[in-house]
Amino acid sequence: MVTVKAPGKLYIAGEYAVLEQNCPAILVAVNEFVRVSISKSKSTSGLIYSKQYSQDSIHWVRKGNKMVIDNRDNPFEYILSAIKFTEQYCLEQGIDLSVYDLHVNSDLDSADGKKYGLGSSAAVTVATVKAILQYYNVDASNDLIYKLSAISHYTVQGNGSAGDIAASVYGGWLAYQTFDKNWLTNELKHQSLSTILNEAWPGLKIHLLTPPTGMELLIGWSQKPASTSQLVDKTNAKKESIKHQYEDFLEKSRQCVLKMIEGFSSSNIDLIKQQIRVNRTILKKFASLNHIAIEIPKLTKLIDIAEKFNGAAKTSGAGNGDCGIVIADSSTDISELKNLWRKNGILPLNFKVHSLTH
Ligand code: PMV
Ligand code: MG
């Protein structure tokens, strides 16, 4: 039997803009995991099982007389896509495929099934890719695991930056820029999977960052789950009609994240904190332009409390619920901050940054 794990992630800065090329974001991997185990089946049929992901509802829309199911929030779709592409790669490597049982176990969903928004679809994709490769004894670099996972995930979700995949594969703190999605779509039509996996992907940049000593990351959960794919659908639908403001948003976000990256390379916590606040303002403007709620009142509360204690805070990811993050230093009374969060219905999540040991 093989068992592998992949961590969840949080966005620190650069959300939404990172969907476009040449717009960096900063992410961090956290020590909450999706684990996938595979063992050879004892019969001619295999089993795919997940306790947390037993589905009891689906989203759908009507398109004429057709009921179209929205499967993007269904983790099983990601598991099946990861199996399909990874097995295709193994086949191209001349490997004989077999029948197995695959078990998935996720920390990324709370006991009552609510998602913290730590990117469980990305982590389950990465963990499945890694487990299948290991099961078939295929050595793979992080670069290959990232690319296989990004293809598997993108084929289901269609609209993500795959930054969450990068965080789950590489761990730690990272600066990320997405690849050219039109290029990938075209390659998938015309090239073998092995060829695509060995190519340099235009636009893609992944760099590990070293956090300054003394910098603390705090995470608060709004207790409201949010759907990233539905929010991104809305902003994608709007971007042509607000072209000018959209480009202004991309440029401002790019400058902000680049300065934040400079804060990491020069170990300047104040510069990082300053840019967290700038990014919050940029995202608030973007939300009002798109008529979407990113910073819901519960997240504003979370941020206001953190700011009272001299922490720099913002929403994390697509917003509308899920988590907020705080960058703090020794000037922040962390335990008092967390107490006030709890009093206001915000749950502090005591996760640590997950860095890979190899
Ligand atoms: O809500 P999250 O943590 O899944 O983050 C979404 C971040 C976006 O930039 C809005 C989308 C993406 O795929 O990058
Ligand atoms: Mg989210």
For residue 128, what is the domain's CATH number? Answer: 3.30.230.10
* Closest by CA position to 325, among listed 279, 292, 256, 290: 279
Burial class (CB in 10 A: 0-12, 13-18, 19+), 250: buried
Specify the ligand 1 atom closest to the Cα of 15. Answer: 9
Mark whether 202 and 232 lie in a shared domain: no
d(CA 229, CA 136): 33
Rounded to the nearest angstrom, the distance between the alpha carbon of 239 and the centre of ligand 1 is 16
Mark whether 204 and 222 lie in a shared domain: no
Are 34 and 127 within 8 A, CB to CB? yes
The pick from 28, 72, 116, 164 for probing ligand 1's pocket by mutation, whose C-beta has the most ligand atoms within 8 angstroms, reads 164
Mark whether 112 and 143 lie in a shared domain: yes
d(CA 244, CA 269): 33
What pLDDT score does 281 carry?
98
In a domain, 358, yes or no: no
What pLDDT score does 71 carry?
79
Query: What range does the domain containing 54 cover?
Result: 2-209
257 lines ligand 1 (CB under 6 A): no
In a domain, 341, yes or no: yes
Mark whether 197 and 257 lie in a shared domain: no
295 lines ligand 1 (CB under 6 A): no
Specify the ligand 1 atom closest to the Cα of 122. Answer: 4
Rounded to the nearest angstrom, the distance between the alpha carbon of 16 and the centre of ligand 2 is 11
pLDDT tens per residue across span 18-53: 999 999 999 999 999 999 999 999 999 999 998 777
Of 209, 244, 265, which residue constitutes the final position of a domain?
Answer: 209
Burial class (CB in 10 A: 0-12, 13-18, 19+), 278: buried
- Copy the structure tokens of residue 98: 């077999």
In a domain, 306, yes or no: yes
- The sheet carrying 347-348 orders its strands as 312-315, 323-328, 216-221, 347-348
In a domain, 295, yes or no: yes
235 lines ligand 1 (CB under 6 A): no
pLDDT tens per residue across span 163-214: 999 999 999 999 999 999 999 999 999 999 999 999 999 999 999 999 999 9
State the CATH number of the domain containing residue 274: 3.30.70.890
Specify the ligand 1 atom closest to the Cα of 17. Answer: 9
List CB-based neighbours of ion ligand 2 within 5 Å.
117, 226, 228, 317-318, 322
The pick from 9, 176, 231, 232 for probing ligand 1's pocket by mutation, whose C-beta has the most ligand atoms within 8 angstroms, reads 232
3-state SS, residue 60: strand
321 lines ligand 1 (CB under 6 A): no
Ligand nearest to the CA of 119: 1
As for how many domains the chain has, the answer is: 2
Mark whether 237 and 203 lie in a shared domain: no
212 lines ligand 1 (CB under 6 A): no
Mark whether 139 and 241 lie in a shared domain: no
The pick from 121, 153, 228, 299 for probing ligand 1's pocket by mutation, whose C-beta has the most ligand atoms within 8 angstroms, reads 228
104 lines ligand 1 (CB under 6 A): no
What pLDDT score does 110 carry?
61
Mark whether 195 and 262 lie in a shared domain: no
d(CA 281, CA 258): 16
Along the 358 residues of the chain, how does pLDDT read in single tens digits? 999 999 999 999 999 999 999 999 999 999 999 999 999 999 999 999 987 776 667 788 888 988 888 877 778 899 999 999 999 999 999 999 999 999 999 888 766 656 788 988 999 999 999 999 999 999 999 999 999 999 999 999 888 999 999 999 999 999 999 999 999 999 999 999 999 999 999 999 999 999 999 999 999 999 998 888 889 999 999 999 999 999 999 999 999 999 999 999 999 999 999 999 999 999 999 999 999 999 999 999 999 999 999 999 999 999 999 999 999 999 999 999 999 999 999 999 999 999 986 4
CA atoms within 13 A of residue 63's CA, in its CB half-sphere: 4
